[in-house]
Structure 1
Amino acid sequence: MTEGKRAIIQQLLQEYDIQDAQDIQDALKDLLGGTIKEMMESEMDQHLGYEKSERTESEDADRNYRNGYKSKRVNSSYGSMDIDVPQDRHSSFEPKVVKKRQKDISDIDQKIISMYAKGMTTKQISETIDDIYGFEASEGFISDVTDKILPQIEEWQERPLSAVYPIVFIDAIHFSVRDDGVIRKLAAYVVLGINSDGRKEVLSLVIGENESSKYWLSVLNSLKNRGVQDILILCSDGLSGIKEAIQTAFPKTEQQRCIVHMVRNTLKYVANKDMKAFAKDLKTIYTASDEKTALSQLDRVTDKWDGQYPYAMKRWHENWDAISPIFKFSKDVRTAFYTTNAIESLNSTLRRLNRQRSVFPSSQALLKALYLATFEATKKWTSPIRNWGKVRGELSIMYPDRMPD
C-alpha cells in the first residue's frame, strides 16, 4: 500500500465515525457523490471557459453562466444516492461523468444481463438487485434492459457463415412457454457446425413448433442464404421431415442418425430387466467393423429379441440408410458425428434454464435466455474437437474436392 493510500484511509477514519463495514459503505457512497459533483464542476468550467470563482469580463447580455444545481437520484454500486448536477443558463451543458437522463452509474445493465443469462427470472433479478444494491428495479425495467440485446440476437442470427461445414448437428430441447394465457411446449433447435478448423460454432437457434419438411427446408435455406454452400454430414435425431429437406437444400449431404438417440428410443420398448443385455447387443451393430458385419449383427439382434419386443428394432431397419454412413469411417472418427455429444455440454447448460424457470412468459423471453446462455457456454470453445486431424483426413478422402483447404 502506498503512502498516498494510507493518508486517504487516515483522513477517511477521521472524517467519518466508522465502526463496521456498513459505515465504510456509507462513507464511500458519500465520497462518490462528492467526487461526481467535483468532476461535473470541472466539466462545467471547461464548458463555460472560466472557473466558478472567476468572473467573465464579457458584457454580453446573452453570455452563458452557471445557474445553480438540479438534484438527481441515481443508482450506484452503493445504493441509491442524490447528486447535485450544475446547471447553466442556456441549458447546453452535457455532463460526461453522469450523462443526462442516465439513472444508473453501476453498470447495472451488464449485471442484469449476466443474471438473465444464468436463467434467473425478471422477478428474481429484481429481488436480487434490491437485496444487494438497495434500490428497486421493476420487472418491467429489467425486461427493457434485456430487450437491448434483441438487435444483437437479430444481427447474430443473420451473420455470414462459412461456405463449407464438414459436420452439422441439429438437436432439440423443449420448454414451456406462455402464449395468450395458455402454456404450450415449444422446441428450441440448436444448429451447431464443426468448421474446417475443427472448432464448434453455433450457427443458429430456432424456436419451432410444427416439424415438417417445409419447416426444416426454411431452416436449411436460411443457412444457405447466409453463405453455407455445402455440408458433408448432418447428424440429427429422427426429426420429422428433415430427410426430405436435406435432399432439397443440400442434395450431396449425407444424413447421419444420432446413434445415442437410436439406442434410447429402442430401449423405450424394452423392460427394465432386459435393458442392459439389449443395449449390449445394440452396441455390436454400431461398433461393427463395416456395413456388411453391421447388417449381420442387425439381423441377429432382431431375431433374438423380436419375439419379446416386436416393435423395438423397427426403426433400425426403416432408417438404415441414415445409420450406415458411419461404417465408411474408422471407429475413432465415427465418434465425431454418430452422436450429438458435440453439443451435449451446451444442451446441459440450456436444460438448466428449464430447472430455473418452469414457464417462460413468451417465446421472445425464451429466445433472449437461450442466446445469453449460449453466448456464455461458447466462451469455453477454444480448441478443435477431439482427433480433428484424423477426422479431417478421412473426410477429405471420403468427400474429395469438398473439404476446404
Structure 2
Amino acid sequence: MTEGKRNIIHQLLEEYDIQTAEDIQDALKDLLGGTIKEMMEAEMDDHLGYEKSERSDNDDYRNGYKRKRVNSSYGAMEIEVPQDRKSTFEPQVVKKRQKDISDIDQKIISMYAKGMTTRQISETIEDIYGFETSEGFISDVTDKILPQIEDWQNRPLDEVYPILYIDAIHYSVRDNGIIRKLAAYVILDINTEGKKEVLTINVGDNESWDLCFVIILLLQTVVRTLSRQLFFYTIRYFFLLFLYISRQQKNP
C-alpha cells in the first residue's frame, strides 16, 4: 500500500469516526454520493459551457438540486442531481429515471443461474443490500437475457474450425420442486485466427454418446468443411473420436 493510500485511510478514520464494519459502509455510501454529485457538477459545466463560479451570457443556468433516491451496492441512498432552468440537462453518471446504480441486474442473473428462485433472490437482495425487489422485477431482469441468448444461438458460424474441444459440465437444477443432475455439453473451438470461443452448448440428462454424436452431426450440417478439418482433444471422449472417425471412413 502506498503512502498516499495510507493517508487517505487515516483521513477517513478520523473524518467518519469509523469503529465498525457498518461505519465503513456508511462512510463509503457518503463518499459515493459525494463523488456522484461532483461528477454531475462537471457534466453540468460541460452542458452549460461554463463553470459554476463563472459568469456567462447563456440564457440557461443552474437551478438548484433535486434529491433522488437510488439503490447502490451499499444500500439505498439519496443523491443530489443538479438542475438547469430549461431542464435540458441529461446526466450520464446516473441517468434520468435510473433508480439502480449497483449492477444488481448481473447479481440477479448470477443467482438465477445458480438455481435460486425469484423469491429467494428477492430475500437475499433485501438481506444484503437493504432494499426490496419484487419477484416480478427479478423475472423481468432474467427475461432480458433471452434475446441475447437467441442472438448467440442464431449467429453465423465459420466454415472451418481446425480444433474443437468437447466436454460436459454437470450441475444441479430445480425442476418442479425436484433437484436433478443435468449435463451441459460444451464445444469450445479455436478458429483460424487462433482465438478460443464457445461454439455450442447443449443440455442433456446425462453424459451420452448418442447425444454427443447428434451434436457433431448437427455441426457438420452447419459447418460444411467440419468433417475434413476436425480435430478433437478430450480425455473423456477419446472413444467418441474413434467412433466418429470410423463412421466417417465408412461413409465419406
Length-normalised TM-score, structure 1: 0.46
Contact 1:126 1:137 in 2 (8 A): yes
Separation (CA, whole Å) in 1 of partners of 2:158 and 2:109: 29
Q: 1:132 aligns with which of 111, 128, 132?
A: 128
Which residue number corresponds to residue 399 of structure 1? 248
Separation (CA, whole Å) in 1 of partners of 2:238 and 2:203: 28
Separation (CA, whole Å) in 1 of partners of 2:51 and 2:106: 36
The residue type paired with residue 33 of structure 2 is G
Separation (CA, whole Å) in 2 of partners of 1:41 and 1:196: 48
Q: Does 1:147 align with 2:143?
A: yes
Contact 1:200 1:385 in 2 (8 A): no
Which residue number corresponds to residue 24 of structure 1? 24
Q: Does 1:84 align with 2:84?
A: no
Q: Does 1:15 align with 2:15?
A: yes
Separation (CA, whole Å) in 2 of partners of 1:195 and 1:39: 43
- Counting helix residues as a fraction of each chain, which structure ranks higher? 1
- The aligned runs of 1:191-202 (5 Å cut-off) are 202=200
Structure 1, unaligned stretches of length 5 or more?
178-182, 207-218, 233-382
Separation (CA, whole Å) in 2 of partners of 1:149 and 1:204: 17
Which residue number corresponds to residue 283 of structure 1? none
- The aligned runs of 1:300-379 (5 Å cut-off) are none
Separation (CA, whole Å) in 1 of partners of 2:201 and 2:160: 12
Stretch deviating more after TM superposition (14-23 or 384-393): 384-393
1:3-37 deviation per Cα after TM superposition (whole angstroms, max 9, x unaligned): 22122122212211222111111111111111110
Separation (CA, whole Å) in 2 of partners of 1:24 and 1:196: 46
Separation (CA, whole Å) in 2 of partners of 1:154 and 1:402: 33
Stretch deviating more after TM superposition (13-22 or 119-128): 13-22
Contact 1:396 1:402 in 2 (8 A): no
Which residue number corresponds to residue 233 of structure 2? 384
Which residue number corresponds to residue 105 of structure 1? 101
The residue type paired with residue 153 of structure 2 is Q
Contact 1:76 1:105 in 2 (8 A): yes
Identify the structure with bigger relative contact order (alpha carbons < 8 Å, sequence gap 6+): 1
118 and 73 in structure 1: CA distance in 2 versus 1, 3 angstrom threshold? same
Separation (CA, whole Å) in 1 of partners of 2:53 and 2:184: 64
Which residue number corresponds to residue 44 of structure 1? 44
Q: For residue 400 of structure 1, give the secondary structure of its aligned residue in structure 2.
A: helix
193 and 229 in structure 1: CA distance in 2 versus 1, 3 angstrom threshold? farther
Q: For residue 222 of structure 2, give the secondary structure of its aligned residue in structure 1.
A: coil
Contact 1:130 1:137 in 2 (8 A): yes
Shift of 1:100: 1.6
Contact 1:160 1:227 in 2 (8 A): no
Separation (CA, whole Å) in 1 of partners of 2:11 and 2:77: 22
Separation (CA, whole Å) in 1 of partners of 2:53 and 2:63: 14
The residue type paired with residue 120 of structure 2 is Q
Shift of 1:70: 1.1
The residue type paired with residue 122 of structure 1 is T
Q: Does 1:120 align with 2:85?
A: no
Task: Name which one, 1 or 2, has greater alpha-carbon Rg.
Answer: 1
Contact 2:126 2:133 in 1 (8 A): yes
The residue type paired with residue 31 of structure 2 is L
Separation (CA, whole Å) in 1 of partners of 2:200 and 2:245: 23
Structure 2, unaligned stretches of length 5 or more?
192-196, 205-213
Which residue number corresponds to residue 70 of structure 2? 74
Length-normalised TM-score, structure 2: 0.71
Q: How many residue pairs were aligned?
A: 226
98 and 230 in structure 1: CA distance in 2 versus 1, 3 angstrom threshold? same
Identity level (%): 63
The residue type paired with residue 400 of structure 1 is Q
Q: For residue 87 of structure 2, give the secondary structure of its aligned residue in structure 1.
A: coil
